[in-house]
Structures are given as C-alpha cells and as structure tokens.
Chain A
Amino acid sequence: MRLSQVSFRYSRRGPWILRDVELMLRPGSVIEVTGRNGAGKSTLLRLLAGIIPPSRGTVTDRPRVVGYAPDVFPVDQPFTVTAYLTHMTRIRRASPAAADELAVRLNATHLMDQPVGDLSKGSAQKIGLIQSLLAPPGLLILDEPFAGLDEQTRIELPVIIGEIAAGGGTVVVSDHQNQLQNFPGADHWLVATGAVTARTGERPARAVIEVLVDAAEADGVEQKLRADGYTTRRAS
C-alpha cells in the first residue's frame, strides 16, 4: 500500500492537516504512530482506512479487508454485545464462530450478554478490538488500543498483532502509551506539523530529562507531558 503526495483538509478553506505525505506500507509490517494531540494522527489513520479520501494525492493498493478500532468505542447503541457482534459478523461476512473465539482471547466472554451501553471503557475497548478482527484483516488500524485494557489483554494484543503481521497483514497502531516500544521490528511514524516522518524498523533515540516541579503542580505537568506523547515516571 502506498500514499503518494497525500494532503488533507476537512474543507476547501480549512487548514491543511497533512501535507504531501509520502509513505509505503509493506505487507507484514507493524507501524507505531506517535505525535502530540491534534497533530493529525487520527486523520492519518482514517485516510489509511479509506474512511476519508485525500484532498490531494493518491492512496493505492489498499488491502481489501480493513479492520478499524477507534480510540473510543461508541457505547451509545441499543444492542447487547452478542447482538452487536452478530450484526458486525454478517456485515463483514465473517465466520459466525470468530466473535466467540476472539472473546476468549481478549478475556471478554463475560461481556457477551451485557448491553453495549453498560460497558466500562476498557470493556468497550475490547468489543471495538473484536469487531476489527472478525475477518482476518489485510490492514489493521488501531487507534489507541491499549487505553483502559486489563493486564491479560495488554499482553494478548501484541501477540494478535504479531500473528496478523506474520500472516502478511499490515498493522498500524496509534500508541500514546508506548505499549509496542519493545515490539520487534516495528516501524515508527512521527506525525508533526502536517508531515509524517518514517523510521523503518528502529526505535528513535531516547533521552531522559529530569524535570523538577512543585509537588502541587506535579499532576498537571505530568498530564501535559503525557498529552504531548511523552512517557513520564514519578521519582517521588
């Protein structure tokens, strides 16, 4: 799959969100996308998924089956989890057993009879992941998939990502929480100021900076740094 000179803006007079983006996605690759809030990560993911067309440029050779899990799964829906996933299975023409198998892997079997509207953030996130995996995706796009997940699912999800990549699928993950930082061979894209900088199969060099703040301001500073995509650790 290839993005050639792709630019995007939401309206004719609106600001450019992405400009002249040139990217190649190899089959079997795993790509971690980072960038500060509002940099255009979600827009880039939607362009990749084919949800929105580029304002300029072309996207070619997109795989036929695309799985997409949004950063916040929409719980305002009048279905039980089972009824919802049954509809999604039919829309995707996937195997009727796929939802149950994925529910076992993602520790979600206890959620199946619950109304979607009653799900917690982490539980809803699991349903969003399950629907994206119902049909084996040639391109899997996960927008902040680790947010709110329990420990077992945090461990299982990279395994599933690895399986899809091993089967020739491409996986693109927006990951503020750096859960894929140790994923072997993952490519890295940084989205900033309308551009996407790609580094292939290597991690960007990292540095540790100590920031001393008043204890009363620590929460606020930490939240700001995390919102900008940085990893923080409290020393005291």
Chain B
Amino acid sequence: MIALVRFKLAAYARSHRLFQPMIGLFAMLAVFYSSTVPPGSELSSYADSAGLLVVVFAWAARGLLDTEPATQRLISMTAAGRPGREVGAGLLAALAVNLGMAAIAIVLPLGIGFAAMPSPGDLAQGVALHLLGLIAGTALGMLTSTPILSSPAVSMLALFGGYLALLLISLTPVGRFTVPIMPWMRAANDGALGEALPTLAAATLFWSVAGVVAYVRLRRTRP
C-alpha cells in the first residue's frame, strides 16, 4: 500500500494541485502573524490557526483524492489487490500532505510570528489542536471528493459550506457535540484548554471517524 501512497503523492505533486491549498495556507499564516504575537498568547494563536486551517486541510485532501482520474482508480484497485487498499492509500496520502501543512503552520510562527517561544505545554497543545484540525479537514475533504460528489460546483459548495456550517454550529450550545472549532478557540483564549482538550478531542475524533466511515461505505459502490 505504501507504493500506492507514493504514486498518489507523486501524481498530486506533479499535477501542481498542491499549490492551491499551499497558497491558501501561506495567505492565512501571513494574516495570522502580520503583527507579532505577544508572550503568553501563543496558544490562542495556535487555536485560531488550527480552527481556521480546517478548510485548507479539506481543500488539500479533496485535491489529492481528485488527482487520479476515475478509471485510474479502478486500475489502482486491481493493482493493489483490493479496493480497500486504494481507499486506504488515499486516506494515508491525504493525511501525509496535511501533516506537512500542519507542520508548517506550527513551525513558521516560532520563527516569525511569536515574540517569545511558547512553553512546552502550550506547544504540545498547539500541535494537538492542529492534529485535530487536519483530521477533521481530511474527513471533510474526503466527503467532498469526486467519487462522492461528482459535480465540481456542488463539491466546492459542500466543502466551503460544510466548513462554514461547522463554524456556525460550533457557536451554538450544541457546538461541543459537533466538531467544536469555536469552543477550542474560546477555551484557548480563556486559558482553559488543558482541561477541555480531552472532551474537545473526543468530539472531533468521533465526527471525523464517522465521516471517514461514511466515505469508505459510499466508495463501495462508487469506485
């Protein structure tokens, strides 16, 4: 399956589709860190970054999964031995790309965004939030990829509309039970992220896994 992951990553890189979310990533980071973050506010910045980059992670995952033409996916399924391996390789490749983008979002402000180095605890929580963001974004990207939504217009609308819906719902009282983007931003601002993180992570992981399971089930008849 690793060879198939490498094939998908090579196709993605050579197709130049990677540029689109990368431009989005750097544009967002430029806005986030246009003024230096004062000491003590690093975790709050990381929480905003992780929450707002979910849409970029979704865009990257969707672009990667849509790079292979539909018929090539059929060839890849038989070459890999069974369809599940092709679906799994797509998931791993999307996570790999988003891990790289999340790493940039974590490391870049250490050099040019923060006035001082964050504490190890804040850095760890920032990494955790970006991991949650990339997992949620990858799931959203998978559900809006071509095998699931064949119309590019509907797909883009679902991707950006879905992200907006996540943001708006997470503002409401039921927000903690969906992907809690706003609650994790608020908790970081209030200095209460440490105790809230397990609950926030559980809700994010639950919905992300549900999204991936739905994608895998739908792909059974949408190769």
What residues of chain A have their CB less than 8 Å away from a CB belonging to chain B? 10-11, 46, 49-53, 64, 66-68, 70, 72-74, 76-79, 83, 87-88, 90-93, 128, 131-132, 134, 141
Contacts and interface: CB of A to CB of B under 8 A. Distances in A.
B7 A87 contact: yes
B223 A51 contact: yes
A11 B166 CA distance: 28
B78 A68 contact: yes
Contacts of A73: 71
Contact of B78 (A50, A87, A93): A50
Contact of B83 (A51, A74, A83): A51
Contacts, number: 75
Contact of A87 (B3, B83, B221): B3
Interface in B51-69: 68-69
Interface residues of B, number: 26
A74 B69 contact: yes
B15 A74 contact: no
B220 A52 contact: yes
Interface of B: 3-4, 6-7, 10-11, 14-15, 68-72, 74-83, 220-221, 223
List the 4 shortest-distance A-B pairs measured between CB atoms, nearest first: A74-B69, A78-B14, A90-B3, A68-B78
B220 A51 contact: no
Given A51-B83, A52-B221, A90-B3, A77 B69 contact: yes
Nearest to A83: B10
B84 to A, nearest CB: 10
B14 A131 contact: no
A64 to B, nearest CB: 7
A130 to B, nearest CB: 11
A51 B82 CA distance: 7
A87 to B, nearest CB: 4
B151 to A, nearest CB: 16
Given A52-B221, A77-B69, A70 B75 contact: yes
Contacts of B79: 88, 91-92, 131, 134
A48 to B, nearest CB: 10
Nearest to B77: A51
Nearest to B13: A78
Contact of B81 (A64, A90, A128, A132): A64
Contacts of A141: 78
A53 B220 contact: yes
Nearest to B79: A91
A66 B83 CA distance: 12
Nearest to A69: B75
Contacts of B82: 50
Contacts of B14: 78-79
Identify which of A10, A67, A76, A91 gathers the most chain B CB atoms within 10 Å of its CB. Answer: A91
Contacts of A87: 3, 6-7, 10
A50 B72 CA distance: 15
